[in-house]
Structure 1
Amino acid sequence: MPRRRSARKAPDDASAALPLFVQALREISLAGRTLSAKERLDLHNIGAGAAERGVPLRELIEGHLAEVWRSWATLPGVDAATNTDALKRTGEAVFRAAEDAVGELAKGYEETQRWTVRRDESLRREFIDDLLTGRDLGQLAERAERYGLQLAGTNVVAAACSSQPFLDSGTATSSVQAAMSLRFSSRHVLVTAREGLLVCVVPHDLAGAPEEFARQVGEIVGRNSSWRVGLGQPQSGPGGAVRSFEQARNALDLAERLDLDERFVKAADLLVYQVLLRDSAALGELVTAVLEPLRGARGGAERLLDTLEAYFACGRVTTATAKTLGLGVRTVTYRLDRVRELTGYRADDPAQAFTLQVAVLGARLLGWQRPAP
């Protein structure tokens, strides 16, 4: 944290403080002393004040050093020097003081800058917590403007998961944030880590932003690693971000339950599964009633479930199913016949196939326990 300012503050404006600095140089040129404790504190405070106002450090230091050169010829110690040795001693004292002054200016500047960064990071974390949990909605829109988000409009949230959790201070988080900011401007993109996920909030009309986010995650994590991005639906208003975030998380959860191959899953494409899960008790009863007999198959139910799943995914085409599973057509036909024998449902009958398909989906969604084949 920056030092507490002294009771007698140095002028906040660095240019207004230059006469005090010159006065110190005048005294030092005569006495050959170093900077006093008060002079050091004043310079430290000048550096801190410049950082608060956003004055570049280089400009601050250049201003003070330029004053050393401008005042050199008029310093009383220089004027009073009667020989080369005396002038040398005066020069050493003055330029040592100038060097110490630069050090104090830089320390005050850097301490305040670090404090400002920590404060901004703390404010940003608080804002993100409120944004993604729906707290303090009344003030959220006003606070969002600081980060370039227009919560009165419509935003969309993407969330990425990986085998390794994302951390707010992690390299992956900062790298994706930098890449997204470079591509779309930091005023339109907010990237953060939350609950082990990497979260991206963008305006819904920022074309290609969610896809670019997914691409950047793949680049950072590694395409051969385990990762997936879920995309919520566009939502408006201060509470829109939290709703879209929940949808993105649900999309990731559903993709995991269904063991989907897609790296980029959209909540809008998974609505049918959400509908099924709204009455999980009824869905569980359907799964048990339809699929429980498959447990009696030799080798268990898993191979028959896999076959049904592939069969429905291939549009109920036996040859395509066989190719997908790497099996012979006869094997697929045999397994479908076994399903009919055990459950009483025909996979090639449209009405009965629908019941079977919903039951298979329900088994995946509910994590229906079945013995290993």
Structure 2
Amino acid sequence: MGDQHDRHELPERYLDGFARTLAEAAATGRRLTREELKIRRTLGEQAADAGHGLRALVVAHLAATRAAWPAAGGSAESSLATLAAVEQAIDAFAEGYERAQRLTVRREEAARREFIDDLLYGRSDLGRLAERAERFGLTLSRAYAVAVAEGPSAYAEGGPVARRVEAAVLARFDSHNTLLTTKNGRLLCIAPGDEDEILLHFAKQVYAATGAAGTALRVAIGRAQHGAGGVVQSYEEALAALEMADRLGLAGPVLRAADLLVYPVLARDRQALVDLVAHTLGPLTAARGGAGPLLDTLAAYFDSGCVAAEAARRLSLSVRALTYRLERIHKLTDADPADPAHRYILQTAVIGARLLDWPHRPL
């Protein structure tokens, strides 16, 4: 309700006893009693709960002061006493008003957090969840996608990065059907699945807000899915993409779950993956220094598009040293990384080793 509207519709009860208190203060010079201050605070709380604006309420008190002044005024001492009483009364009223607002904000925050938890874990009745979603601007009958940002340190709800990113996203896009929040130290954006530009802008703003520490930042986007269950699925896909990127050392700036579907497929039959890695790369353990350096060589070689010079640069090696390592791999495994016929099985085995965290963990 606007202030202009409030000035004409404020109930007189919020000024109950105010004029009488001013008159007594002017006549006796007394200050407000503890009970009177309590009443003013209570009236402030009630006005806040009723949705009245504080500005209009203060104006109403000042208008009441002006109306009472001829009766309350008189000597300089009585005028000062009246002003002191006005100050006490308005201060107590505003204190109660602000206290009620803080409680309302805390209740809203708690309700929002409960809704987000239920939404992301899918543990609430879907019909009830859809009703609650409308309160926060989401229409769960449509498809949504979830972007998840994981930074060098945990993101806090209401923290500087979260506030900056939310302000930047909502300044450019309509807040309806878009929700930004945090979960387990990560920053999330839930947006309509057919508005990919929102999620990309979110990722861009997270990198900008994170600053120099952005080198340790990853943003993953789950596939668009329908309904409340779809939000959960998209969120879990984004989390899985972040975990996969961490295992495989995949770089951003944005990772899409749809582009990483091959990795869960590989990991689905763990025993087959173990057999592939053991059979194909197991012989590398016979090398001086173990399998680690040669496995890193293969990973860099494949990640650089099988360009020896680029792989050598990534490993801080000379091309000659890299070539020697590739020859050593060929000799130990009977598979030539430079041979297209052998390359696929070697690269798949390298991906499998990363997924299994081999050789750091035994097969």
* Residue 218 of structure 2 is aligned to residue 218 of structure 1: no
* Residue 84 of structure 2 is aligned to residue 96 of structure 1: yes
Say which one has the larger Rg: 1
Same amino acid, percent of matched pairs? 44
* Residue 290 of structure 2 is aligned to residue 300 of structure 1: yes
* Residue 244 of structure 2 is aligned to residue 247 of structure 1: no
Q: Where does structure 1 lack aligned partners over 5 or more consecutive residues?
A: 1-11, 79-85
- The Cα offsets for residues 12-31 of structure 1, whole Å up to 9 and x where unpaired, read as 95444446433444455555
Tell me by how many angstroms 1:334 deviates.
3.4
Range 47-56 or range 106-115, more displaced: 47-56
Tell me by how many angstroms 1:197 deviates.
1.4
1:277 alignment counterpart: 267
Tell me by how many angstroms 1:288 deviates.
0.9
Structure 1 residues 130, 195: CA separation in 2 closer, same or farther (over 3 Å shift)?
same
Q: Distance in 2 between matches of 1:53 and 1:17?
A: 11
2:6 alignment counterpart: none
Q: Distance in 1 between matches of 2:10 and 2:39?
A: 12
RMSD across aligned positions (CA): 2.6
From 103, 115, 118, the equivalent of 1:127 is 115
From 347, 350, 354, the equivalent of 1:360 is 350
Q: Distance in 1 between matches of 2:176 and 2:31?
A: 47
1:53 alignment counterpart: 50
In the alignment of these two chains, the number of paired residues is: 351
CA contact (8 A) 1:230 1:252 kept: yes
CA contact (8 A) 1:155 1:236 kept: yes
Tell me by how many angstroms 1:341 deviates.
1.8
Q: Which amino acid aligns with 1:202?
A: A
Q: Distance in 2 between matches of 1:29 and 1:315?
A: 88
Structure 1 residues 318, 68: CA separation in 2 closer, same or farther (over 3 Å shift)?
closer
Range 33-42 or range 198-207, more displaced: 33-42
Q: Distance in 2 between matches of 1:221 and 1:229?
A: 12
1:166 alignment counterpart: 155
Q: Which amino acid aligns with 1:112?
A: A
Q: Where does structure 2 lack aligned partners over 5 or more consecutive residues?
A: 1-8
Task: Give SS of 2:118's match.
Answer: helix
* Residue 106 of structure 2 is aligned to residue 118 of structure 1: yes
Q: Distance in 2 between matches of 1:295 and 1:99?
A: 82
Structure 1 residues 205, 223: CA separation in 2 closer, same or farther (over 3 Å shift)?
farther
Structure 1 residues 97, 285: CA separation in 2 closer, same or farther (over 3 Å shift)?
same
TM-score normalized with structure 1 length: 0.84
TM-score normalized with structure 2 length: 0.87
Q: Distance in 2 between matches of 1:97 and 1:173?
A: 43
Structure 1 residues 207, 361: CA separation in 2 closer, same or farther (over 3 Å shift)?
closer
What does 1:173-322 correspond to in 2, within 5 Å?
173-224=162-213, 225-318=215-308, 321-322=311-312
Task: Give SS of 1:222's match.
Answer: helix
Tell me by how many angstroms 1:166 deviates.
1.9
Q: Distance in 1 between matches of 2:101 and 2:119?
A: 26
From 18, 37, 44, the equivalent of 1:21 is 18
Q: Distance in 2 between matches of 1:346 and 1:258?
A: 22
Structure 1 residues 263, 339: CA separation in 2 closer, same or farther (over 3 Å shift)?
same
Structure 1 residues 210, 346: CA separation in 2 closer, same or farther (over 3 Å shift)?
same
CA contact (8 A) 2:146 2:223 kept: yes
Q: Distance in 2 between matches of 1:197 and 1:228?
A: 10
